[in-house]
Amino acid sequence: MRVTEGLELNQLWSQFEKDARSSYRLYSIDLERREAEPAPKGRKLLRTAEQFFWAVLEKLSPAKRVLLLVALVMLFLPQSGFQYTGKGGDVHIVEFDLHVWGGLLLLVLLMLEVADRVVMKRDLQIAKEIQNWLLPNEPPAIQGMEIAFVTRPANTVAGDYYDVFKRPEHEAHTDRYLLAVADVAGKSIPAAMIMATFQASLRTLSITRRALPDLISGMNQYACTNSQGGLRFTTAFLGEYDPATRTLTYVNAGHNAPMVCRKSGMLERLEAGGLPIGIMADTSYQSGSVTLAAGDWIVIFTDGVVEAVNTQGEEFGEQRLLSVINASSNQSPGELLQAILLHIDVFVGATPQHDDMTLLLVKAV
Protein backbone atom coordinates (compact mmCIF):
# COMPACT_ATOMS: atom_id res chain seq x y z
CA MET A 1 0.00 0.00 0.00
CA ARG A 2 1.07 3.61 -0.55
CA VAL A 3 0.75 4.46 3.15
CA THR A 4 2.65 1.53 4.73
CA GLU A 5 4.95 0.78 1.75
CA GLY A 6 4.24 -2.91 2.28
CA LEU A 7 5.63 -3.00 5.85
CA GLU A 8 4.06 -5.35 8.36
CA LEU A 9 2.65 -4.15 11.68
CA ASN A 10 5.71 -5.21 13.72
CA GLN A 11 8.01 -3.48 11.21
CA LEU A 12 5.94 -0.30 11.42
CA TRP A 13 6.06 -0.40 15.22
CA SER A 14 9.83 -0.97 15.20
CA GLN A 15 10.27 1.98 12.84
CA PHE A 16 8.04 4.16 15.03
CA GLU A 17 10.00 3.14 18.14
CA LYS A 18 13.31 4.07 16.50
CA ASP A 19 11.93 7.41 15.30
CA ALA A 20 10.52 8.17 18.75
CA ARG A 21 13.80 7.36 20.49
CA SER A 22 15.75 9.43 17.97
CA SER A 23 13.42 12.41 18.38
CA TYR A 24 13.50 12.20 22.16
CA ARG A 25 17.31 12.12 22.07
CA LEU A 26 17.33 15.25 19.89
CA TYR A 27 15.17 17.22 22.31
CA SER A 28 16.59 15.76 25.52
CA ILE A 29 20.08 17.06 24.67
CA ASP A 30 18.91 20.51 25.80
CA LEU A 31 17.55 19.03 29.02
CA GLU A 32 20.88 17.43 29.88
CA ARG A 33 22.67 20.74 29.40
CA ARG A 34 20.51 22.47 32.00
CA GLU A 35 21.36 21.68 35.58
CA ALA A 36 18.30 20.78 37.60
CA GLU A 37 18.13 21.70 41.28
CA PRO A 38 16.98 19.00 43.72
CA ALA A 39 13.19 18.96 43.91
CA PRO A 40 10.35 16.66 44.97
CA LYS A 41 9.43 14.00 42.45
CA GLY A 42 6.17 15.65 41.36
CA ARG A 43 7.73 19.07 40.94
CA LYS A 44 10.75 17.59 39.17
CA LEU A 45 8.47 15.85 36.66
CA LEU A 46 6.61 19.10 36.04
CA ARG A 47 9.85 21.02 35.55
CA THR A 48 11.18 18.35 33.17
CA ALA A 49 7.97 18.57 31.11
CA GLU A 50 8.32 22.37 31.03
CA GLN A 51 11.95 22.18 29.88
CA PHE A 52 11.06 19.57 27.26
CA PHE A 53 8.31 21.85 25.93
CA TRP A 54 10.74 24.76 25.60
CA ALA A 55 13.32 22.46 23.97
CA VAL A 56 10.72 21.61 21.31
CA LEU A 57 9.67 25.25 20.94
CA GLU A 58 13.26 26.44 20.42
CA LYS A 59 13.65 24.13 17.42
CA LEU A 60 10.91 26.06 15.56
CA SER A 61 11.19 29.38 13.75
CA PRO A 62 9.69 32.42 15.58
CA ALA A 63 6.60 32.46 13.33
CA LYS A 64 5.94 28.76 13.95
CA ARG A 65 6.41 29.26 17.69
CA VAL A 66 3.65 31.84 17.69
CA LEU A 67 1.44 29.53 15.63
CA LEU A 68 2.01 26.65 18.06
CA LEU A 69 1.32 28.77 21.14
CA VAL A 70 -1.91 30.19 19.66
CA ALA A 71 -3.05 26.67 18.73
CA LEU A 72 -2.35 25.37 22.25
CA VAL A 73 -4.22 28.28 23.84
CA MET A 74 -7.23 27.54 21.63
CA LEU A 75 -7.14 23.85 22.54
CA PHE A 76 -7.19 24.56 26.28
CA LEU A 77 -9.70 27.43 26.28
CA PRO A 78 -13.33 26.48 27.02
CA GLN A 79 -15.96 26.78 24.33
CA SER A 80 -17.11 30.41 24.02
CA GLY A 81 -19.72 32.49 22.25
CA PHE A 82 -22.16 35.32 22.58
CA GLN A 83 -25.86 36.00 22.22
CA TYR A 84 -27.84 38.79 20.68
CA THR A 85 -31.49 39.74 20.33
CA GLY A 86 -32.81 39.92 16.81
CA LYS A 87 -35.89 41.46 15.33
CA GLY A 88 -39.05 40.36 17.01
CA GLY A 89 -37.25 39.82 20.31
CA ASP A 90 -35.77 36.46 19.33
CA VAL A 91 -32.56 35.59 21.20
CA HIS A 92 -29.78 34.12 19.04
CA ILE A 93 -26.76 32.29 20.52
CA VAL A 94 -23.50 32.07 18.55
CA GLU A 95 -20.90 29.59 19.81
CA PHE A 96 -17.25 29.28 18.81
CA ASP A 97 -15.55 25.90 19.11
CA LEU A 98 -11.94 27.05 19.52
CA HIS A 99 -10.80 23.44 19.81
CA VAL A 100 -11.52 22.91 16.11
CA TRP A 101 -9.60 26.03 15.13
CA GLY A 102 -6.71 25.04 17.40
CA GLY A 103 -6.59 21.63 15.73
CA LEU A 104 -6.58 23.27 12.29
CA LEU A 105 -3.68 25.52 13.30
CA LEU A 106 -1.73 22.46 14.46
CA LEU A 107 -2.46 20.82 11.11
CA VAL A 108 -1.14 23.91 9.30
CA LEU A 109 1.99 23.83 11.49
CA LEU A 110 2.48 20.16 10.67
CA MET A 111 2.17 20.84 6.94
CA LEU A 112 4.77 23.64 7.18
CA GLU A 113 7.17 21.37 9.04
CA VAL A 114 6.67 18.58 6.49
CA ALA A 115 7.37 21.03 3.66
CA ASP A 116 10.63 22.08 5.32
CA ARG A 117 11.56 18.46 5.88
CA VAL A 118 10.90 17.55 2.22
CA VAL A 119 13.13 20.38 0.99
CA MET A 120 15.87 19.45 3.45
CA LYS A 121 15.59 15.77 2.60
CA ARG A 122 15.94 16.55 -1.10
CA ASP A 123 19.09 18.60 -0.46
CA LEU A 124 20.51 15.90 1.80
CA GLN A 125 19.81 13.25 -0.82
CA ILE A 126 21.83 15.24 -3.35
CA ALA A 127 24.64 15.57 -0.78
CA LYS A 128 24.47 11.81 -0.18
CA GLU A 129 24.81 11.08 -3.90
CA ILE A 130 27.84 13.38 -4.12
CA GLN A 131 29.39 11.70 -1.09
CA ASN A 132 28.82 8.27 -2.62
CA TRP A 133 30.81 9.40 -5.66
CA LEU A 134 33.78 10.05 -3.37
CA LEU A 135 33.77 6.50 -1.99
CA PRO A 136 34.74 3.38 -3.94
CA ASN A 137 32.04 0.87 -4.85
CA GLU A 138 34.39 -2.09 -5.21
CA PRO A 139 37.94 -2.67 -3.93
CA PRO A 140 40.72 -3.03 -6.49
CA ALA A 141 42.18 -6.47 -7.19
CA ILE A 142 45.33 -6.73 -5.04
CA GLN A 143 47.68 -9.69 -5.13
CA GLY A 144 47.63 -11.54 -1.80
CA MET A 145 44.61 -9.64 -0.43
CA GLU A 146 40.84 -9.89 -0.27
CA ILE A 147 39.04 -6.73 0.85
CA ALA A 148 35.51 -5.74 1.81
CA PHE A 149 34.22 -2.45 3.20
CA VAL A 150 30.99 -0.77 4.22
CA THR A 151 29.79 2.45 5.85
CA ARG A 152 26.51 3.19 7.62
CA PRO A 153 25.77 6.88 8.22
CA ALA A 154 23.97 7.83 11.42
CA ASN A 155 22.21 10.49 9.35
CA THR A 156 21.76 10.90 5.59
CA VAL A 157 25.40 11.88 5.08
CA ALA A 158 28.40 10.75 7.10
CA GLY A 159 31.69 11.99 8.47
CA ASP A 160 33.35 8.59 8.02
CA TYR A 161 35.61 7.88 5.06
CA TYR A 162 37.21 4.79 3.57
CA ASP A 163 39.24 4.20 0.43
CA VAL A 164 41.55 1.69 -1.25
CA PHE A 165 43.52 2.73 -4.33
CA LYS A 166 46.81 2.27 -6.12
CA ARG A 167 49.63 4.74 -5.53
CA PRO A 168 52.07 5.77 -8.26
CA GLU A 169 54.96 3.35 -8.72
CA HIS A 170 57.87 4.09 -6.39
CA GLU A 171 60.18 1.90 -8.41
CA ALA A 172 59.90 0.17 -11.75
CA HIS A 173 57.28 -2.60 -11.75
CA THR A 174 56.40 -1.99 -8.10
CA ASP A 175 52.73 -1.57 -7.19
CA ARG A 176 51.69 -0.22 -3.82
CA TYR A 177 48.18 0.33 -2.55
CA LEU A 178 46.85 2.81 -0.03
CA LEU A 179 44.20 1.79 2.51
CA ALA A 180 42.45 4.59 4.38
CA VAL A 181 39.78 4.84 7.06
CA ALA A 182 38.96 8.17 8.74
CA ASP A 183 36.41 9.55 11.17
CA VAL A 184 35.65 13.28 11.34
CA ALA A 185 34.56 14.61 14.74
CA GLY A 186 30.82 15.24 14.60
CA LYS A 187 28.10 14.02 12.26
CA SER A 188 25.94 14.99 9.30
CA ILE A 189 26.61 17.97 6.99
CA PRO A 190 29.56 19.65 8.84
CA ALA A 191 31.44 16.35 9.19
CA ALA A 192 30.61 15.36 5.58
CA MET A 193 32.10 18.60 4.25
CA ILE A 194 35.36 18.04 6.14
CA MET A 195 35.36 14.42 4.95
CA ALA A 196 35.27 15.70 1.36
CA THR A 197 38.30 17.94 1.98
CA PHE A 198 40.09 14.98 3.59
CA GLN A 199 39.44 12.85 0.53
CA ALA A 200 40.64 15.58 -1.81
CA SER A 201 43.88 16.21 0.10
CA LEU A 202 44.59 12.47 0.43
CA ARG A 203 44.09 11.81 -3.26
CA THR A 204 46.16 14.86 -4.22
CA LEU A 205 49.12 14.23 -1.91
CA SER A 206 49.21 10.48 -2.60
CA ILE A 207 50.16 11.23 -6.20
CA THR A 208 53.54 12.37 -4.91
CA ARG A 209 56.15 9.81 -3.92
CA ARG A 210 56.51 11.04 -0.35
CA ALA A 211 56.60 8.48 2.44
CA LEU A 212 53.49 7.82 4.50
CA PRO A 213 54.50 9.95 7.57
CA ASP A 214 55.29 12.90 5.29
CA LEU A 215 52.02 12.42 3.42
CA ILE A 216 49.92 12.53 6.57
CA SER A 217 51.95 15.48 7.91
CA GLY A 218 51.04 17.43 4.78
CA MET A 219 47.39 16.52 5.23
CA ASN A 220 47.56 17.60 8.88
CA GLN A 221 49.03 21.00 8.02
CA TYR A 222 46.27 21.62 5.50
CA ALA A 223 43.56 20.37 7.89
CA CYS A 224 44.76 22.73 10.66
CA THR A 225 43.88 25.71 8.45
CA ASN A 226 40.15 24.87 8.53
CA SER A 227 39.63 22.80 11.69
CA GLN A 228 38.28 25.70 13.80
CA GLY A 229 41.20 25.61 16.19
CA GLY A 230 41.20 21.83 16.47
CA LEU A 231 37.47 21.43 17.15
CA ARG A 232 36.88 19.75 13.78
CA PHE A 233 39.67 17.18 13.98
CA THR A 234 39.83 13.86 12.12
CA THR A 235 41.11 10.51 13.32
CA ALA A 236 42.61 8.48 10.50
CA PHE A 237 44.40 5.25 9.70
CA LEU A 238 46.50 5.09 6.54
CA GLY A 239 48.26 1.95 5.39
CA GLU A 240 50.47 1.33 2.35
CA TYR A 241 50.61 -2.29 1.21
CA ASP A 242 53.43 -3.76 -0.85
CA PRO A 243 52.27 -7.03 -2.49
CA ALA A 244 55.85 -8.05 -3.30
CA THR A 245 56.86 -8.24 0.36
CA ARG A 246 53.33 -8.67 1.84
CA THR A 247 54.16 -5.76 4.16
CA LEU A 248 51.76 -3.08 5.34
CA THR A 249 53.38 0.19 6.40
CA TYR A 250 50.96 2.33 8.36
CA VAL A 251 50.34 5.53 10.34
CA ASN A 252 47.62 5.75 12.97
CA ALA A 253 46.54 9.37 13.54
CA GLY A 254 44.57 9.01 16.77
CA HIS A 255 42.25 6.38 15.30
CA ASN A 256 40.85 3.25 16.94
CA ALA A 257 43.76 0.83 16.72
CA PRO A 258 43.05 -1.68 13.95
CA MET A 259 43.34 -5.33 14.90
CA VAL A 260 45.61 -7.86 13.20
CA CYS A 261 44.07 -11.26 13.88
CA ARG A 262 46.69 -13.88 13.07
CA LYS A 263 45.74 -17.32 11.81
CA SER A 264 47.54 -18.69 14.88
CA GLY A 265 45.08 -16.85 17.13
CA MET A 266 47.43 -14.05 18.19
CA LEU A 267 46.13 -10.47 18.25
CA GLU A 268 48.19 -7.38 17.37
CA ARG A 269 47.29 -3.70 17.43
CA LEU A 270 48.39 -1.12 14.87
CA GLU A 271 49.04 1.90 17.11
CA ALA A 272 52.13 3.70 15.78
CA GLY A 273 51.38 7.22 14.55
CA GLY A 274 50.49 10.46 16.29
CA LEU A 275 47.72 12.94 17.08
CA PRO A 276 44.47 13.19 15.11
CA ILE A 277 44.63 15.35 11.98
CA GLY A 278 43.73 19.01 12.43
CA ILE A 279 44.84 19.60 16.04
CA MET A 280 48.48 20.75 15.84
CA ALA A 281 50.12 21.84 12.59
CA ASP A 282 53.68 20.91 13.67
CA THR A 283 52.82 17.37 14.80
CA SER A 284 55.21 14.65 13.66
CA TYR A 285 54.07 11.14 12.83
CA GLN A 286 55.75 7.78 13.24
CA SER A 287 55.10 4.79 11.02
CA GLY A 288 54.87 1.11 11.84
CA SER A 289 54.83 -2.01 9.72
CA VAL A 290 53.40 -5.50 9.80
CA THR A 291 53.99 -8.49 7.54
CA LEU A 292 50.99 -10.59 6.66
CA ALA A 293 50.79 -14.34 6.19
CA ALA A 294 48.02 -16.29 4.51
CA GLY A 295 44.97 -16.49 6.77
CA ASP A 296 45.71 -13.29 8.69
CA TRP A 297 43.04 -10.59 9.04
CA ILE A 298 43.23 -6.82 9.42
CA VAL A 299 40.10 -5.23 10.89
CA ILE A 300 39.90 -1.44 10.54
CA PHE A 301 36.85 0.28 12.04
CA THR A 302 35.51 3.56 13.35
CA ASP A 303 34.26 4.05 16.90
CA GLY A 304 30.63 3.90 15.79
CA VAL A 305 31.04 0.12 15.42
CA VAL A 306 32.28 -0.72 18.92
CA GLU A 307 30.25 2.08 20.60
CA ALA A 308 26.89 0.99 19.17
CA VAL A 309 24.53 0.76 22.15
CA ASN A 310 21.47 -1.33 22.91
CA THR A 311 18.31 -0.42 24.82
CA GLN A 312 20.12 -1.02 28.15
CA GLY A 313 22.87 1.44 27.24
CA GLU A 314 25.51 -1.29 26.81
CA GLU A 315 28.13 -0.87 24.10
CA PHE A 316 28.78 -3.54 21.47
CA GLY A 317 32.48 -3.40 22.36
CA GLU A 318 35.64 -4.86 20.87
CA GLN A 319 35.23 -8.21 22.60
CA ARG A 320 31.97 -8.93 20.79
CA LEU A 321 33.58 -7.79 17.55
CA LEU A 322 36.50 -10.17 18.13
CA SER A 323 34.13 -13.03 18.94
CA VAL A 324 32.38 -12.63 15.58
CA ILE A 325 35.73 -12.45 13.76
CA ASN A 326 37.11 -15.57 15.45
CA ALA A 327 33.91 -17.50 14.78
CA SER A 328 33.89 -16.58 11.07
CA SER A 329 37.59 -16.32 10.24
CA ASN A 330 37.31 -19.02 7.55
CA GLN A 331 34.80 -16.98 5.56
CA SER A 332 35.46 -14.36 2.91
CA PRO A 333 35.71 -10.66 3.92
CA GLY A 334 32.30 -9.99 2.40
CA GLU A 335 30.69 -12.80 4.40
CA LEU A 336 32.42 -11.75 7.60
CA LEU A 337 31.30 -8.17 7.02
CA GLN A 338 27.66 -9.26 6.78
CA ALA A 339 28.04 -11.40 9.91
CA ILE A 340 29.38 -8.42 11.90
CA LEU A 341 26.58 -6.13 10.75
CA LEU A 342 23.98 -8.78 11.60
CA HIS A 343 25.35 -9.18 15.13
CA ILE A 344 25.35 -5.40 15.62
CA ASP A 345 21.73 -5.14 14.39
CA VAL A 346 20.60 -7.90 16.76
CA PHE A 347 22.52 -6.30 19.65
CA VAL A 348 21.20 -2.74 19.27
CA GLY A 349 17.60 -3.75 18.53
CA ALA A 350 15.37 -0.68 18.31
CA THR A 351 18.03 1.75 19.58
CA PRO A 352 18.68 4.52 17.01
CA GLN A 353 22.17 4.62 15.53
CA HIS A 354 24.02 7.49 17.23
CA ASP A 355 27.26 7.54 15.23
CA ASP A 356 28.54 6.69 11.76
CA MET A 357 29.87 3.14 11.36
CA THR A 358 32.60 2.08 8.94
CA LEU A 359 34.36 -1.25 8.57
CA LEU A 360 37.22 -2.25 6.27
CA LEU A 361 38.23 -5.91 6.37
CA VAL A 362 41.39 -7.32 4.82
CA LYS A 363 42.19 -11.03 4.54
CA ALA A 364 45.64 -12.19 3.49
CA VAL A 365 45.49 -15.05 1.00
Which of 174, 176, 194 minimizes the C-alpha distance to 184?
194
Pairing assessment for the beta strands 267-269 and 273-274 based on DSSP bridges = unpaired
Do 222 and 110 fall within a single domain?
A: no
Asked if the model's pLDDT at residue 246 lies above 70, the reply is yes
Do 317 and 275 fall within a single domain?
A: yes
Burial readout 74-100 (b: 16 or more C-beta within 10 A, e: otherwise) = beeeeeeeeeeeeeeeeeeeeeeebee
Do 116 and 259 fall within a single domain?
A: no
Burial class (CB in 10 A: 0-12, 13-18, 19+), 50: exposed
Which of 243, 286, 128, 258 minimizes the C-alpha distance to 182?
258
Q: Are the C-beta atoms of residues 192 and 158 closer than 8 Å to each other?
A: yes
pLDDT, tens only, 338-360: 999 999 999 998 888 888 999 99
pLDDT, tens only, 249-300: 999 999 999 999 999 889 999 999 999 999 988 899 999 999 999 999 999 9
pLDDT, tens only, 107-148: 888 888 877 777 777 777 777 777 777 888 899 999 999 999
Distance CA(253)–CA(292), nearest Å, equals 22
Domain harbouring 230, CATH code: 3.60.40.10
Which H or E run contains 134?
Answer: helix 98-134
Residue 24: per-residue pLDDT: 66
Provide the domain count of the chain.
2
Do 216 and 281 fall within a single domain?
A: yes
* Domain termination site, one of 98, 129, 160: 129
